[in-house]
């Protein structure tokens, strides 16, 4: 298989981020889909979980990922938020199993380290790096969508055995992606300056 298509899921009841990337053998990533499954806060819990399930099923049916990655639930002060996130996470893993897709969970720090090289990066830093890695004009919004893409990238790179250490060039996937993005940015800037000098 020339590339791996991963569905990343940032679980939640109000907003469940979903993002799909294709990652080729050189670990270059391409955006396939990004979005958010939303459910009304005043709806019954069962109805909200059904809405999350329907949204994830629709994405799987349309884009046919090869694997699913879900952010692992971690303790927070808000117990209600933790419960909702855990329930949505369980739904995501169930849907993956029903579809016959391999699924894994990754902690927030694992995801942040994979895409930024820093396990305590904030949401803005994650969004900025996702835009650079996927060559987007601007960071994905809302943050849940960017987080879903980060989870997908983390899974693809860790599965390839590269996120845990340096690659052949001595760089992690995140560092290589940043360097690639910087090179593209420099080339684009040089082209723009040339156009200005030539009066285009």
Angle of CA points 63, 158, 153, to nearest 5°: 40
User: For residue 144, which of 75, 79, 82, 70 has the smallest C-alpha distance?
Assistant: 70
Are the beta carbons of 23 and 40 closer than 8 angstroms?
no
Q: Is the dihedral of CA 181, 186, 191, 192 positive or negative?
A: positive
As a whole number of angstroms, the distance between CA 58 and CA 185 comes to: 35
Looking only at the bridges linking them, the beta strands covering 67-71 and 103-106 are parallel
Active site residues: 10, 71, 144
The answer to whether the beta carbons of residues 6 and 21 sit under 8 Å apart is yes
- Is 137 marked as a binding-site residue? no
- Residue 195 has, within 13 A of its CA and on its CB side, a CA count of 7
71 is in an annotated binding site: yes
Binding site for Mg(2+), by residue number, is 10, 71, 144
Binding site, by residue number, is 10, 71, 144
């Amino acid at each position: 298989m020339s590339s791996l298509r991963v569905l990343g899921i940032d679980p939640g009841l109000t907003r469940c981020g979903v993002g799909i990337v294709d990652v080729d053998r050189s670990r270059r990533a391409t955006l396939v889909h990004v979005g958010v499954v939303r459910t009304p806060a005043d709806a019954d819990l069962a109805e909200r979980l059904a809405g999350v399930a329907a949204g994830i099923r629709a994405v799987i049916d349309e884009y046919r990922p090869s694997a699913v990655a879900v952010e692992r639930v971690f303790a927070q002060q808000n117990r209600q938020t933790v419960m909702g996130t855990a329930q949505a996470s369980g739904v995501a893993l169930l849907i993956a199993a029903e579809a016959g897709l391999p699924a894994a969970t990754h902690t927030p720090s694992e995801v942040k380290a994979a895409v930024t090289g820093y396990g305590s990066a904030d949401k803005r830093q994650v969004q900025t790096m996702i835009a650079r890695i996927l060559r987007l004009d601007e960071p994905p919004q809302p943050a849940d969508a960017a987080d879903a893409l980060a989870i997908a990238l983390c899974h693809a790179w860790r599965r390839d055995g590269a996120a845990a250490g340096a690659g052949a060039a001595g760089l992690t996937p995140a560092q290589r992606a940043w360097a690639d993005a910087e090179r593209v940015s420099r080339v684009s800037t040089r082209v723009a300056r040339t156009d200005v000098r030539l009066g285009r």
